[in-house]
Amino acid sequence: MAIRPMQAGLAPKERRFWPFRRLSLAQQEEIQGYLFLMPWLVGLVAFTVGPIIASLLLSFTSWNLVSAPRWVGLENYQYIFQDDPDFIQALKVTLRYAAISLPLHIIIGLALSLLLNIKVRGMNVYRTLFYLPSVLPGVATTLLWVWIFNTDFGIINWALKQVGFEGPRWFQNPRWALNALIIMGMWGVGGGAVIYLAGLQNIPPHLYEAAEIDGAGFWHRFWRITLPLLTPTLFFNLVTGLIGAFQAFVSAYIATNGGPMRSTLFYMLYLFQKAFQQQWMGYGSALAWILAIIILVCTVLVFKSSALWVHYEAERGAEVRKK
Amino acid sequence: MNKKIMNRRNFLRLAAMTGAGAAIAACATPTPQVVKETVVVEKEKVIPQTVVVEKEKVVQQTVVVEKEKQVEKVVTATPAPAVAPATVNFFAGDVAENKDAFLLTADAFNARSDKVKVKINLIASQGFGAKIQTMIAANDGPDLWPGVSPGEAPRRGAHADITAFVQRDIAKPQEYWFQMGIDRSMYQGKWYAVPKDVGWNVIAYNIDMYEKFGVPLPKENWTFDDFIAMGKQLHRPDEGYFGTQFSGNSVLLWGGAGIPYNLGFKMQSDDGHTVKGFLDTPTSIEAIQWVIDLQDKHKISVSGEQAQALGGEPFYSGKVGLGVAGVWGLRDLLAAKFKFGLIHAPIKKAGDTIYTWGGAAHVFMWSGAKNKEANWEVMKFWSSPEGSKIAHVMRVAASPNPVVWTDHADDKDPVLGVFLKDGLRPTFQPPYEISSYFWQCVGGNFGDIWTRYLELKERPLENIAKDAAEKAQKCLDDNYSKEKK
Amino acid sequence: MTQMDNVVNMGASLADTLVARRTKSGIWNRRTRRYIGHAVAYFFMTACCFVFLIPLVWMISTALKDRGSIWLWPPKWIPDPIEWHNCADVFNYVPFGIYLRNTLVIAFCNIVGHVWSVTLVAYSFARLRFRGRDFLFIVLLATLMIPGEVTMIPRFIMFKLFGWYDTYLPLIVPAFTGGPFMIFLVRQYLMTIPYELDEAATIDGCSRLQILYKILFPIIKPPVTLIIVWTFIGSWNDLMGPVIYLTTQSKYTLAIGLTTFYGQQPHSTLWNLLMAASVMSVIPLLVIYYFAQDYLIGGIASVGLKG
């Protein structure tokens, strides 16, 4: 943008004052790339980097939020890895939650979005209703879910009874509590479906028309057209879902507070307990950085794998080709 | 809506003072403020905080000096100690039920106090704790804020030590406040808070149900055997009625009125650092067994999950014969749609000491606050009969001063009379109010006893309890030793 | 619910394959086939909707109850008596008029900020080539990986140093620097649009900005709509931001107003008023989402999957 007028204004006689006489197209693009990035780069430097570095430094201190932080070096990390049994438990719970709920979210969200994409009358109402859970205040609805999962009075166990099953004592039993939270989380699947829905809008309709003329059935169209062209959106939902699953804790905080027998001690819940309830902010920061690195490694792996399965219509390598 | 604009009202008053001069201001001060003052300022735009402060400075410089002489006779009427003029920032939870009382108490203080003014900042109740913590961490804490018992928190240094003030101004704390308000204000023999209101639970029974099933009502000095017998007669799950609401570990933690103490249950040492040797004594294990039996052997209780389904406090569903009712839930209790009675927690045998269970809410001062003397004035007022009676008569918070109760003939009241009698009984500090690591170390392991016994069918109870005590103790030791380093 | 969704999926595809087979044998024509597919879809979606509606029904029911019957067992789904005045009483406790205005100001600024910054940054990440791009993109995502809980206090101290405490700036200005999730979303979307479009436009003499706003912007309407909806809902429901950064009551937002009905103990929570206020505050969001769909569903593919 800013480059163009500059270029245009470069009358031949002025050229000598312009040190970079010949900006190749690639170089222009490079400068423009950073210019367009400016809003984010400014924000990164001004608002984001400072607090993040502060939290990194705090992770090497002992800080009770009142008196000045005391430098303890690697002690927090050492304690976490050597002496903290809850750290391993919290990590296990979170990994299990992510491993089960992430694929479910991706698949069911996709299925739901295909349904919601059908153009029929009244679909607007359905779309709104399925999005409802993403809009409702979290605390009140979690309390409601506690009631839905109630052993004796809850709807779920009532429904199971109708088909001849004895429902478990969801939140009382360490084997079932995490599953209950996973099911609870599925309620928000409409939020992901909406993103697929946006992605579906970008698939050129003529592809379907051509396929239909060829007599391709639903599955064929789905595997050959919809899914490949939706992979960028799928990739988005995978990465954001990954980050979200690792950081989940609100429902556990309200419904179980980590119990029974630490079966729902989510990593973030544990972090929250340490950093705020016990005011070990330095320790909490160390936990946060360990979590961040785990997520980062997973994300980078997903990114590396994306070359194999994500189909971009317009992918351009980052490096500018030198001419 | 006019209650929202405290700072505006202060500002107007201060502006008026500057304008009208010292004499008027001094005369106006002792006039008791009418509580429902309707200042028409809703429509006005925000006046930035700074303006208010500036005006105050003006007041300080120009007005106060002249005022000294004239104020003297007023001072005899409302004894205000020699204190520099100041505005005290009191951060309080923006809670629908309590905020009117809070603002009216502030009005009452400002009406009687000449130099010190209190300014209430209403903060969302959800996130209140995080906000206060953040402000203190940023070294800009509020002058005063309310909260529940600080436990060991004063060791971190955020709470101001107010021992000198209390010793100077409160002659006999034991007579001035309920015992449960005093215990929780202190840490290692020093004062870090004053009680703002107190609350405790008694046993409530549903008279409609007793009459329906022809069960005689409980009488003073009733025993645990009576309790179980009544529960069995009242428990008719097929008809949708439940004998008692007592189930799960919460009975021994916080939901059982005086039951845990009457059972002789003691979870931990007084400083909260030792569990082993308390939680796993034969008496304690017996108490745990008694609570488990309510739902496992006698089957006279709603299950823990049923309790949740029945709402916050199952007793209010009208389907539970024996439940708890608290001073803090007074409004719910008075709104109940069935006849109820209140009584102390059952005891082992007639003649045993009857205990009560309760807690208190407090006012804290930030250790970094500038004008401690002025802050103390406000704190003292909030905790005095004069200040605490405002919320008390509105039934949103119970006064921590027994004198307020007797002044208002609450001891003759059929509901409050029972509460008052119970509130004066001996009590202990609830276990979770002491150690900072209680919930992480003790609470969880203690709750797991129920899971392991009822869900995983582990036996015997003694081993489970010993194991829980072992784990809790290790966790406490680890945390305290890491803290010391 | 999991199973139910699977059933929907299976049911729909089963119907589809069955119908497809019949079509080949020429018994049913394409239109009949489509009608049946729609009927099946309607059926399963209506069934699912019940699950999704329960909380709203429960909220509305509680909102219209008096204090004594909130916890009655078995629950009364239809309150008796119906306390319509709860909806009016809500306004006695909180100056919702002022709070609404403040919320709308914040939401509007955030929407403007996000749409402006996110499209620019996403365009750069998706379509321009420069050294360090892929690394910076990972940095963008990495900023999401540090939980906000541990950066909250440093952030507060930082904004306080800026002199932004008790102003709207900490709640607004960051929006103008883009939200990482949103940048990611728009970047993904842009990468599905053929680059030939840009090249053609360049040949026609368009600058990069013109390409972005004249050529690409109409195509990326669905994700931009999502950004607007997300930002609006986010500002509307954001509690911690306003609580931490604001202390003057006349600057408060709706989310703060709602918490007035929570008690410091569960007992003093006014559930009926809380639900009345929550339902009322959710309605505008649903209305906005309902109408935003016209922009969400559309874009270049205005004909649907089965069309």
pLDDT per residue over C71-129, tens digit each? Answer: 666 667 888 888 899 999 999 888 999 999 999 999 999 999 999 999 999 999 999 99
Delimit the domains of chain A by residue range.
3-58, 77-309
Q: Residue B346 carries which DSSP code?
A: P
Degrees to nearest 5, angle at CA C8 with C7 and C11: 80
Per-residue pLDDT tens over the stretch B341-358: 999 999 999 899 999 998
A98: confidence class by pLDDT, cuts 50, 70, 90: very high
Expressed in percent and rounded to 5, the helix, strand and coil fractions of chain A are: 70, 0, 30
Per-residue pLDDT tens over the stretch B117-153: 999 999 998 889 899 999 999 999 999 999 988 889 8
Q: What is the mean pLDDT of residues A38-55?
A: 95
Give me the residue label for tokens 């360490």.
A174
B81: confidence class by pLDDT, cuts 50, 70, 90: low
Q: What is the mean pLDDT of residues A140-160?
A: 77
Give me the residue label for tokens 């205040």.
A137
The Cβ of residue B409 has, within 10 Å, a number of other Cβ atoms equal to 10
Per-residue pLDDT tens over the stretch A211-245: 888 888 888 889 999 999 999 999 999 999 999 99
Q: What is the mean pLDDT of residues A111-132?
A: 87
Give me the residue label for tokens 């500059």.
A6
Contact B306 A153 (CB under 8 A): yes
Per-residue pLDDT tens over the stretch A274-292: 999 889 999 999 999 999 9
**Where in chain B do CATH 3.40.190.10 domains reside?**
2-199+360-423, 200-358+427-484
Give C-chain residues touching B319 at CB under 8 angstroms. 73
Q: What is the CA radius of gyration of chain B?
A: 25
Candidates A65, A152, A153; nearest CB to B136: A65
Name the more confident of C307 and B149: B149
Q: Residue A259 carries which DSSP code?
A: -
A304: confidence class by pLDDT, cuts 50, 70, 90: very high
Contact A278 B479 (CB under 8 A): yes
For residue B121, the distance in angstroms to the closest alpha carbon of chain C comes to 7
Give the side-chain half-sphere CA count within 13 A for C134. Answer: 9
Contact partners for chain B, using 3 or more CB pairs closer than 8 A, are A, C
Q: Give pLDDT, residue B146.
A: 93
Select from B123, B60, B48, B124 the least CA-distant residue to B86. Answer: B60
- Report the sign of the C-alpha dihedral through residues A34, A35, A37, A43, in that order: positive
Q: Give pLDDT, residue B359.
A: 85
A71: contact with B, CB 8 A cutoff: no
Candidates C52, C142, C190; nearest CB to A130: C52
What is the secondary structure of C255-306 as a DSSP string? Answer: HHHHHTTS-SSGGG--HHHHHHHHHHHHHHHHHHHHHHHHHHS-TT--S-S-
Q: Give pLDDT, residue B441.
A: 92
Question: pLDDT at residue B207 above 60?
Answer: yes
Round to whole Å and give the CA distance between A59 and A282: 5
Which residues of B49-149 form beta strands (DSSP E)?
86-94, 116-124, 144-148
B206: confidence class by pLDDT, cuts 50, 70, 90: very high
* Chain B with chain C: Cβ pairs closer than 8 A: 132
Contact B335 C157 (CB under 8 A): no
Fold observed for domain B2-199+360-423: D-Maltodextrin-Binding Protein; domain 2 (3.40.190)
For residue C162, the distance in angstroms to the closest alpha carbon of chain B comes to 13
The Cβ of residue A115 has, within 10 Å, a number of other Cβ atoms equal to 23
Q: What is the mean pLDDT of residues B317-328?
A: 87
- Contact between B272 and B431 under an 8 Å Cβ cutoff? The reply is yes
Give B-chain residues touching C156 at CB under 8 angstroms. 134, 137-138
B200-358+427-484 maps to CATH 3.40.190.10: yes
A77-309 maps to CATH 1.10.3720.10: yes
Candidates B305, B367, B439; nearest CB to A150: B305
Q: Give pLDDT, residue B82.
A: 64
**Which chain A residue shows the shortest CA-CA distance from B457?**
A173
Select from B126, B129, B153, B152 the least CA-distant residue to B142. Answer: B129
**Which chain A residue shows the shortest CA-CA distance from B438?**
A278
What is the secondary structure of B122-189 as a DSSP string? Answer: EEESTTHHHHHHHHHHTT---SEEEEE--TTGGGGS-B---HHHHHHH-S-HHHHS-HHHHHTTEETT
A21: confidence class by pLDDT, cuts 50, 70, 90: low
Question: pLDDT at residue B468 above 90?
Answer: yes
Contact partners for chain A, using 3 or more CB pairs closer than 8 A, are B, C
A215: contact with C, CB 8 A cutoff: yes
- Which 79-118 residues of chain C touch chain B by CB within 8 A? 92-95
**Which chain A residue shows the shortest CA-CA distance from C180?**
A40
Q: Give pLDDT, residue A167.
A: 84
Round to whole Å and give the CA distance between B128 and B120: 14
**Which chain A residue shows the shortest CA-CA distance from C188?**
A232
Give C-chain residues touching B318 at CB under 8 angstroms. 72-73
Q: What is the mean pLDDT of residues B310-327?
A: 80
- Contact between C129 and A320 under an 8 Å Cβ cutoff? The reply is yes
Round to whole Å and give the CA distance between A21 and A33: 20
Q: What is the mean pLDDT of residues B109-124?
A: 93
Q: Give pLDDT, residue C143.
A: 93
Question: pLDDT at residue A153 above 80?
Answer: no
A301: contact with C, CB 8 A cutoff: no
Q: What is the mean pLDDT of residues B146-161?
A: 90
Beta B357-365 vs B193-206: how paired, if at all?
Answer: antiparallel
Round to whole Å and give the CA distance between C2 and C7: 9
- Kindly report the backbone phi and psi dihedral angles of residue B172, in degrees, each rounded to the nearest multiple of 5, phi listed first: -130, 85
- Contact between B354 and B343 under an 8 Å Cβ cutoff? The reply is no
Contact C240 B127 (CB under 8 A): yes
Question: pLDDT at residue B79 above 60?
Answer: no
Select from B71, B81, B28, B77 the least CA-distant residue to B374. Answer: B81
- Kindly report the backbone phi and psi dihedral angles of residue B417, in degrees, each rounded to the nearest multiple of 5, phi listed first: -60, -45
For residue A264, the distance in angstroms to the closest alpha carbon of chain C comes to 19
- Contact between B473 and B276 under an 8 Å Cβ cutoff? The reply is yes
Q: Residue B194: in which H helix or E strand, if any?
A: strand B193-206
Q: Give pLDDT, residue A134.
A: 84
Q: What is the mean pLDDT of residues C38-53?
A: 82
**Which chain C residue shows the shortest CA-CA distance from B241?**
C73
Q: What is the mean pLDDT of residues B169-188?
A: 91
Percent of chain B, pLDDT > 90?
Answer: 54
B13: confidence class by pLDDT, cuts 50, 70, 90: very low
Q: How many residues does chain B have?
A: 485
Q: Give pLDDT, residue B240.
A: 81
Contact C177 A42 (CB under 8 A): yes
Round to whole Å and give the CA distance between B480 and A280: 12
**Which chain C residue shows the shortest CA-CA distance from B128?**
C243
Per-residue pLDDT tens over the stretch B221-254: 999 999 999 999 999 988 888 899 888 888 998 8
B90: confidence class by pLDDT, cuts 50, 70, 90: very high
Candidates C72, C264, C266; nearest CB to B318: C72
Question: pLDDT at residue B59 above 80?
Answer: no
**Which chain B residue shows the shortest CA-CA distance from C242?**
B124
Give C-chain residues touching A149 at CB under 8 angstroms. none
A154: contact with B, CB 8 A cutoff: yes
